[in-house]
Amino acid sequence: MTTSFTQETSNDERGILLDFFRVICAMPSHDNTLSDARIVKTTQNKLKDALRGVDFRCTCARVTWGGICETCQASDDELVNLRNFFRGIRNAKKHNMSPTEVQDFIENNKKRLAG
């Protein structure tokens, strides 16, 4: 049985992604090995559980036309930024991001999520 994307689901996803964001920001060093960190896999599993059976979930990673998906269009900016942050950290190694690029990415997201 599938369910639609509800406020409760949104809050669960937001909580999981906020915890991830805080843990990453609190780490002393940042480089592309964060992609292999246990926290990424744990967060991914938590998101799978929280979003199991939900009809509408973020598909931005699969969108090829360059925009954001309908789910993100209906979500608030904070949740969209948290989704992008998680995806960016998860793919840092795949995209060969340097430690400076990873640090800049984290700092830019701190500013974006603070304001």
Which amino acid is located at 27 in the chain?
M
pTM for the structure as a whole: 0.85
| 82 CB neighbour count, 10 Å cutoff | 23
For residue range 64-82, list pLDDT tens digits in order. 666 787 888 888 889 989 9
Task: Identify the pLDDT of residue 51.
Answer: 86
For residue range 20-61, list pLDDT tens digits in order. 999 999 998 888 888 888 999 999 999 999 888 887 778 777
Which residues on adjacent β-strands are paired with residue 54? Answer: 3
Task: Identify the pLDDT of residue 8.
Answer: 66
